[in-house]
Chain A
Amino acid sequence: MMDFAYWLPIVWAVILVAAISIYVILDGFDLGIGMLFALERHPDRRDVMVNTIAPVWDGNETWMVLGGAVLYGVFPGAYATLLPAFYLPIVLMLLALIFRGVAFEFRVMTRGTGREGMWNVGFMAGSAIAAFCQGAILGGVVQGIKVVDGAFAGGPLDWLTPFSILCGLSVMCGYALLGATWLIWRTTGVLEESCRRWAARLAVGLFIGIVAVSFWTPLLHAPYLRRWTDWPNIAFVAPVPVLVVVLAVLFVMGLRRGHSKGPFLCALGWFFLCLSGLGITVWPYAVPPGLTLWDVSSPPSSQFFQLIGTAIMLPIILTYTIYSYHVFRGKVTETDGYH
């Protein structure tokens, strides 16, 4: 039983990180496309942008619901301290996601009534605010929260620091890059060309963000620094920054040579590496700097029961998610679907 109590939270931590990664990857390009509305003004091309994600965005957002539910069921201690700590950015993010989610439908349903513009702005601003809040919350978790007796004991604006703002801006930049590279893959013509230009600039922004966060993070807490600099850890973690640079080279090559999928895959790779890097940094804490995974987890009976369901359902979910993407594969053009 002791073994169970030790291993189950680790298994769940891996599942949770996987769910968050899938969310970030899938909803990241959704949100990015929303932000790119700021750069693309042409209504037809905006419709193409939305059409590339319209059939799949509901499913993408569901991964976020899963993240919340898993945290609630498996790590209730983390759920109960993190959510009050990030009360304001979470509420702001949820409200932003509401605007964005309904704007998918409303911007076309109100076409011709003069209110379409409002929903386009809602789609753009909602995506931008949600992206910023997600980054700021992530940064806030990494910098740690004040916990007394297992409950959040800080102030409502503790999360708002230069570090969390930097993380928020980096994630905005990163999501916009995911969106632009997704559109390079899924569209043609003028839109694809514009996206190649935007992607180049956004990649520079994201790269600066990654570097800044990487150098800042180890300075937040002493254990973070040791994780990255002490021997033999360094042998295991060194590949992360090296791979970031390798991907940067591949990205530039892919963009120059007109590859359609390459840049998107590189951007995904960057996100994967960043999340891994943060996981390595924070491990084994669920709520830095005080609460470990084991401090916040639910009883083994809860974790085990949920694990059975997850082991059965997750492969099924992945199968039909892939099927759904397969059905809607291929380039989307302006003549597609709606003229």
Chain B
Amino acid sequence: MQYAHDPALILARFQFAFTVGVHIIFPAFSIGLAAYLAVLEGLWLRTGRPVFLDLYRYWIKVFSIVFGMGVVSGLVMSYEFGTNWSIFSKKAGPITGVLLSYEVMTAFFLEAGFLGVMLFGMNKVGRKLHFAATCCVSVGTLISMTWILSSNSWMQTPRGYTIDPATGRFMPADWLAIIFNPSFPFRLVHMGLAAFLSVAFIVGATGAWHMLKARKAGKISSEPVRVMFSMAMWMTAIVAPLQILAGDAHGLNTLRYQPVKIAAMEGDWVSEDHAPELLFGIPNMKTEHTDYAIRLPLAGSLILTHSLNGKVPGMKDFPRDQRPPSPVIFFSFRIMVALGMLMMLVGLWSLWLRRNSTLFTSPVFHRVALCMAPAGFLALLCGWITTEVGRQPWTVYGLLRTSDSVSPVALSSMAFSMTAFVVVYVLVFGSGMGILVRMLGRAPQEGEHDTPPDHATEILAARMHPGVIDPSTGKGA
């Protein structure tokens, strides 16, 4: 790349990518899980079946951990625009900063404000108000996603601005055009579905694990385990195919507004009709050629333009200094698509098993579902790498270069903070993952609701002494 000689810039980018990559997992987890909790509590209120309350209590503990990690890693993001990208912030702040403020005011406060009631308040406010609090938190996560994707999409497909000739700042001219910029609806749907799908696979894998464990012990798995597995598989069967359609639509949108990104994703150098699809290859930015390519004839045109003779762009159509690094996004894109296909197959398989009434008795399928636990999150990360690295070398697409966006921060400071971030993140979020895995390794308790009548006390107890007090017996472990 043309700015490969600037180590401070590379560090600033790597640090931002690292912190945002860790962060994105938690909001996506919260979006999916909050919606799931709202559905569970709603079903409990409607049907009165205790199994839904059991599941609610099981997953709310996970939610409290995930949400906490999302808050602290997100706090970093709201300051990192300024610490790492001060020139970008100064020039684009009048637009992106305002969208971020709207996110904080309409979403973060809503989530954080009602989280306390959701976690500790059922006994204090009653069932209906408690359900309302759960819904507020869930809606908050969705509003938050909406604003942040609007802001991100504006950086990809900027609209509704003018540029102040004196300062080079982006001046808002039409807020509706800014918010509803051309790539926003596609990105929003794609990300929303990704969050639901990621959580569906986590829930499904948890259910599968406990069914396998029960089977090994020669027992029948408990009702909450079966219900959570079944719900997760319904979600997968419905959402995974939808996600592929949404991804396809997003791809067409990208082809229209960011053709060079598509060319780099596909490893195509020369623009052609009747284009093949590369199943594998290693794009070489220097020789302008994709080595070891395995081609599927005509598929490139068919996928990208929905016709066999559609014209597909090549990177040579664009100046060298406007091409994103193809080797990265060529692979991240392919991994994402492959995972997407796998997820859809799992969904279809689950439908088949359901039809034969063997959904809860097929150990092979349960093992597959267990292995697929990280599939949603991996695909989500690969998707973000594709779209963000594919935006390079720009921060605001076609208008402001990444190399012109970076803060005047000394290399030594950047290097120090990079090290500190990696050490702290590995320690903190690694421990967090460990705690989550241990938590999910414990089966949901049936009839937790029968022991003490005080919901708040119970959740607090579970939060306070998960390893020490077994809520169903009240005895120390």
**A contact residues vs B (CB 8 Å cutoff):** 47, 51, 54-56, 58-59, 61-62, 64-66, 68-74, 76-77, 79-84, 87-88, 90-92, 94-95, 97-99, 101-102, 104-106, 108-113, 115, 150-153, 155-156, 298-299, 301-302, 305-306, 309-310, 313-314, 317, 320-321, 324, 327-328, 337-338
Contact = CB atoms under 8 A, between A and B. Distances in A.
Contacts of A305: 98, 172, 175
A310 B113 CA distance: 17
B125 interface: yes
B124 A328 contact: yes
Nearest to B424: A95
Interface centre among A47, A64, A111, A299 (most CB of B within 10 A): A299
Q: Which of A92, A151, A298, A309 has the most CB of B within 10 A?
A: A298
Contact of A91 (B91, B96, B412, B417): B417
Given A65-B78, A76-B94, A337-B460, A58 B101 contact: no
16 contacts: A62-B104, A66-B108, A79-B86, A80-B87, A80-B407, A83-B83, A84-B83, A90-B83, A91-B420, A97-B75, A102-B432, A111-B466, A310-B101, A327-B116, A328-B120, A338-B457
B82 interface: yes
A136 to B, nearest CB: 15
Contacts of A65: 74-75, 78, 104, 108
Given A327-B124, A327-B125, A79 B76 contact: no
Interface residues of B, number: 83
B98 A68 contact: no
Contact of A102 (B72, B91, B98, B413): B72
B416 interface: yes
A102 B103 CA distance: 23
B4 interface: no
A73 B121 contact: no
Contacts of A101: 68, 71-72, 75
A95 B171 CA distance: 33
B333 interface: no
A74 to B, nearest CB: 7
B465 A338 contact: yes
Main SS class of interface, A: helix
B457 A76 contact: no
A79 B467 contact: no
B232 interface: no
B416 A327 contact: no
A68 to B, nearest CB: 4
B119 A72 contact: no
A62 B108 contact: yes
Nearest to A51: B460
B292 interface: no
B10 interface: no
B81 interface: yes
B79 A338 contact: no
Interface string B104-140: 1110111111111101110011000000000000000
B408 interface: yes
B435 A106 contact: yes
B68 A76 contact: no
A294 to B, nearest CB: 13
B237 interface: no
A105 B68 contact: yes
Given A58-B112, A327-B121, 15 more contacts: A55-B119, A55-B121, A66-B101, A66-B108, A69-B97, A72-B101, A73-B93, A79-B97, A84-B408, A88-B413, A102-B68, A109-B467, A313-B109, A317-B113, A337-B461
A76 B90 contact: yes
A321 B110 CA distance: 9
B120 A106 contact: no
Contacts of A151: 86-87, 408
Interface string B409-420: 110110011001
B97 A152 contact: no
B187 interface: no
B82 A72 contact: yes
A111 B108 CA distance: 30
Contacts of B186: none
B120 A321 contact: no
Given A55-B117, A91-B420, A83 B86 contact: yes
A56 B121 CA distance: 12
Given A76-B90, A109-B435, A64 B75 contact: yes
**Taking each of A59, A81, A109, A153, which has the highest tally of chain B beta carbons within 10 Å of its own beta carbon?**
A109
A302 B172 contact: yes
A320 B111 CA distance: 11
